[in-house]
Structure 1
Amino acid sequence: MKHPILTIVVPCFNEEEVFKETAKQLTSVLENLQEQTFIDAKSKILFVDDGSTDETWPLIEEESKINRYVTGIKLSRNVGHQNALLAGLEKAKNMSDCVISIDADLQDDISVIKDFMIKFHEGYDIVYGVRKSRETDTFFKRASARGFYRLMRKIGINLIPDHADFRLMSKRALEELSHYKETNLFLRGVIPLIGFKSAKVMYDRKERFAGTSKYPLKKMLSFAFDGITSFSVAPIRLVTLIGAFSFLLSLCAAGYAFIQELLGHTESGWTSLMISIWLIGGLQLMGIGLIGEYIGKIFNETKRRPKYTVETDLLPYKHNVHSPQHHGIFSGESGD
């Protein structure tokens, strides 16, 4: 049985400070896996430059000339982490039997990549890297993450708690992923929908090797909101419930005012009137804004614009992937 070709996909945005160390450590991982006959010698590290404005792409080009494992693609502009990751997955699908995605900051523990491959050889199509704990996070980040996963679970969105984008996917899983055409991409929610045999590998998250986080609070909140609105209409239903509650409250207030009128206790109530107007007006604006968010997503979906454009490709040709006896995964079936 021939060994599977592995591609490690690494999205990069302004990662010049960490790139050399990332390439060095991932190269060591591939060399060790090859020596232990887990992977084929044609395995690669695919760096995806997401429109970096620093020296990230020149460093990728330079490394590819001296390191047979390293290759890369350069996107014409910054399209965001999820789309850059998708670009790498779609490229790797054509030259691999399995793909592992990982961020460039070396916070994910690359030593468990071997465990990923063990699970793959056992027949798993998707292997999720899951953090053992969040003790290294700040209290706010830890509390907000737990609240986010709890909320997503309550509104029916199936996410893997404490899992980001550190995962392995077989070629069959990547083929199925390509059938999901939405523009508003939230891979952490889409991949569990594929439903193939999956496993988890636990690991401890490390400190960032160098550079700064590309996900400040504002981006994290936006990412979370995109995930919710891409997978659930629960926010719109919530606004409907708030509207119904406000209507019932107004009926109670009208009844109270009518009784006061009959008893002759009516007084001018400028303050309560203003508060009522502001409350109803705020609820209306919030509802209109939320509906507008969904309409905007529909607008983006209907345009069907490309999610990314590849400007430079260091590996334009395709490898012929193997067909190991891996539960029929690579025998040319579509996976439908």
Structure 2
Amino acid sequence: MSYLSSLKNTDIPGNLVLVISGPTGIGKTALAMELAKHLPVEIVSADSRQIYRYMDIGTAKPSPEMRQQVPHHFIDILDPDEDYSAGKFGKEAREVIQEIFRRKKYPLVVGGSGLYIRALLQGFFQEDVKDVSLRHQLEARLKEEGAMTLFHELQKVDPIAAARTHPNNPRRVIRALEVYYATGIPISQLQKNQPDPAPFPWEHLVLTMPRPQLYKQINQRVEEMFDMGLVEEVQRLLEMGYPPSLNALNSVGYKEVIAYLNKEMDLFTCKELVKRNTRRFAKRQFTWFRGQQDVRWLEIHQREDIPVLAERIINEYYSQNKNREGDE
């Protein structure tokens, strides 16, 4: 009998927080659900898009059946036109994790939003904050609305940074706004604050696989999303009155379908563009996680590896907790 199959819920000591991350489409949810078969877990989603209601298919949310089997946090907590930030997630997720510990359950953080995970585990310096999509949106607004509009916006959200920035220096204005909208914290505050590490021990596991295999899985998943009704999902969001300019809708899978609905391309081109942009997004996620400290990389080659990987994770997780108890 394997260690995994013999493990009892009561055998999980300590308060280590396990984080499972990696690029989109690699199998994070499948691994989390496999772990949930053997451990008393509650899942803390670290996905900046799954927080939004009505955006199910394009964000690859866990199914209603999965969420009924295992408690999930930070899914469907906001409408698409509401704002959220990594800083707010970090604060609220720490509170949720402590509540999970009080319920004698095992918090499992699962997601690919690197900035959310960074905020949760370590806090961050302003240099850590990079949101390419948000920056591109701000640059587009600069062209359309002008530098003074963005500068006045900065004056409202971070007057200290605005006082240090010339209105005719749009690069610095955009950077300050990018940091604020990504984290919910003014850049002037981040520049003087030290990072705020999490009040619990953690282990950050990053999944990886050979790039051709990952890209094959991404392409297949995009096709499945369209088969499941991605176009109809986007159409419903627009009919509900949500404008395409929203951050939530200006993301991979949604912006391309909006262009298709606007007759800017045919369906085949739309699908291929979503595949390409998703692969590019996965590449950026790899780059982000390679730049993080204190992560462990776990390679998988195919979905059939998931149960074996789960057994390995539980063995190592249990061992680490056991060792830490002995040190106390």
Which protein is richer in strand relative to its size? Answer: 1
Q: Which has the higher helix share?
A: 2
Calculate the TM-score normalised by the size of structure 1.
0.27
Structure number with greater CO (CA < 8 Å, separation at least 6) is 2
The TM-score normalised by the length of structure 2 is 0.28
Q: Which has the greater radius of gyration?
A: 1
